[in-house]
Copies of this chain bind each other. A is one copy, B any other.
């Protein structure tokens, strides 16, 4: 059984000689899938783009270019050349295991995010999303279909012009916000599991609880590893007062910062609770052991001496005068009864039952 949520079909060296793009991630084939959404206050245009006809942004509208399939190095390179992205940025984009981080350039903001989701087994799956914010465009790169961004696509169309009246920075914010919302719902699901585990440890503690506590802690650490650099990145964005971000979007980003901070707070809080639950389990275990030992000790301590007495009168010596007396047998039974009562009183005094 493998509890790891990540499967590496292809894994190359994390750091490579600069000057050549090398894809790091699961094996994949075929060209990348490019989808563009171009909108202004009044119009929305959605289309699938051929990899050899990459559109350039138009100052009068906002363009969102979704690049799905970063294994297609040539396309990434082309986009990079077209949009003037730095070589190192491209390298980070095609490394699907790169750490979450923020880079600010004069004319672009580059952000790597970890999109997390719970799969059917309750394990975390991770996908790197690279966002590039330019003056009039947002590029989003990922290895797979960007399903988490489907609501954002819908909202561009649906919103009665309010969304579309805003710039690329607002689009950038909503994408970050979608990922963070995922974190929030994951931590909520974790806290529900934690409450169930708490009930279980209190009422029916088993070794399986401990394994589940361990798995939960592992997932918490995983989430923390994704959220921690994101909080740093957003703090950095807010501090630097990047020219690409309008003052209103800064307000929204502060809200995002609050959400990530809440997630991280909850993780710390929950890890301490996890530790406390484990201790609870440990004391329960040792308590149960004590109970078992007491039962054994009470039974053994009562019957072993009695058996000895019976053994004595089972000896075959010729000269054992007691054996001949008619009152001997009841006397011995009485003696045994007294021993039993005495020991029971002793255990009672020791509060063993």
Contacts and interface: CB of A to CB of B under 8 A. Distances in A.
A332 interface: yes
Interface in A296-312: 296-297, 299-301, 303-308, 310-312
Interface in A208-255: 210-211, 214, 217-218, 221, 225, 228, 251-252, 255
Contacts of A341: none
Interface in A1-55: 1-4, 11, 13-15, 17-19
Interface of A is mostly: helix
A322 B319 CA distance: 11
A291 B162 CA distance: 65
A307 B300 contact: no
Interface stretch (A72-80, A137-145, A278-286): A278-286
A120 interface: no
Number of identical protomers: 5
A85 interface: no
Contacts of A350: 291
Nearest to A346: B295
Contact of A299 (B162, B210, B276, B305): B305
Given A15-B255, A280-B214, A320 B329 contact: yes
A258 to B, nearest CB: 6
Contact of A286 (B199, B277, B286, B303): B286
Contacts of A162: 19
Q: How large is the interface on A (under 10, 10 to 19, 20 to 34, 35 or more residues)?
A: 35 or more
Contacts of A286: 282, 285-286, 289
A172 to B, nearest CB: 14
Contacts of A135: none
A308 B333 CA distance: 12
Contact of A315 (B17, B258, B259, B316): B316
Nearest to A317: B329
A17 to B, nearest CB: 6
B301 A308 contact: no
Interface stretch (A61-69, A122-130, A177-185): A177-185
A272 interface: yes
Contacts of A294: 292
The 10 A-B residue pairs whose C-beta atoms are closest, nearest first, are A310-B311, A313-B315, A296-B297, A314-B314, A317-B329, A319-B326, A303-B304, A14-B184, A299-B301, A210-B283
11 contacts: A13-B181, A88-B252, A202-B211, A228-B265, A278-B283, A286-B289, A296-B296, A303-B307, A310-B311, A310-B314, A315-B329
